[in-house]
Amino acid sequence: MTTPARTWQCLGVPIDCVAQPGGTELAPDSLRHAGVGNGHRLIDLGDIRSRLRDPVRDHETGVVAGEDVVGLTAELHERIAGRPEPQLPLLVLGGCCTLLPGVLGGLRHHGDDVALVYLDGHVDLYDGRTSPTGEAADMPLAVLLGLGPEPWLRAAGPRARLQPTDITLLGPRDEDEARANGSVLPPDLPGLRYLDAAHLKQSDRHKLATEIAEDLTRRHGGGFWVHVDLDVLDESAFPATDYLMPGGLDWPELTALLLPLTGAPACRGVSVAC
């Protein structure tokens, strides 16, 4: 099964939450060279200017490169809110998951009620206090729920804030580690739809994703956004990730989830992180 060809816009976000050159900063160009979007028409909007460069953990917020993260988020918000032809679906090439609050802030800037489907090997609900590293990629869902550092929340904008019922979280397998570190967990957020990797591997993934897309289409007039961190894949399937873990999805399992989601008319776009 394939999705019908569509015209997409594409924006690169070459950042790495360790705040040093290299690593996931290289991913947008690598994905372009690998032929991402083949089968669709891509209008390439280039890359954002911001980079994460200060490897020091901010004393007040607990976030590595905290000021850079705020600047990045503000730039992404502005670029996406003001892009030409906003009716076209958007492909955002990361980079790391730090990009997401700026993306959702831009998408929801004009009042659109955009929901989120988040596929990731981690729950990403840390904040600057509970994150073991202070890396911003530990925190995007917390920020979107209004639980993150205040400067980052302001940069994302008030419309970026989601309710748990707006979020579908698929594929994490680090809940025990997150609990030990004092993170907020999905069961702490009533209404958040949460299926871990073990559940997904036992499910009819195509049927599940179709049902999710249909439900979000009914409940959200602004459609939904799909975020994919490739560490949702098993370490044997994608060894290039920064966070190697067993027990993840394989490529056919991930594809079975993504095709119904990204092929739905209500899908506003996709962001990819490594």
**Residue spans per domain, the chain:** 7-273
Unique residue bearing structure tokens 């979280």: 169
Report pLDDT for 2.
Answer: 58
Backbone CA torsion sign across 110, 113, 119, 120: positive
CATH topology of domain 7-273: Arginase; Chain A (3.40.800)
Q: What angle do CA 150, 173, 129 make, to 5 degrees?
A: 25
Averages of pLDDT over runs of 10 residues in the chain (274 residues) are: 79 97 96 92 97 96 98 98 96 98 97 97 98 98 97 97 98 98 98 98 98 98 98 94 89 98 98 96
For β-strands 115-119 and 224-229, DSSP reports them as parallel
Distance (Å, rounded) from C-alpha 159 to C-alpha 65? 24
- CA 129, distance to chain mean position in Å, is 21
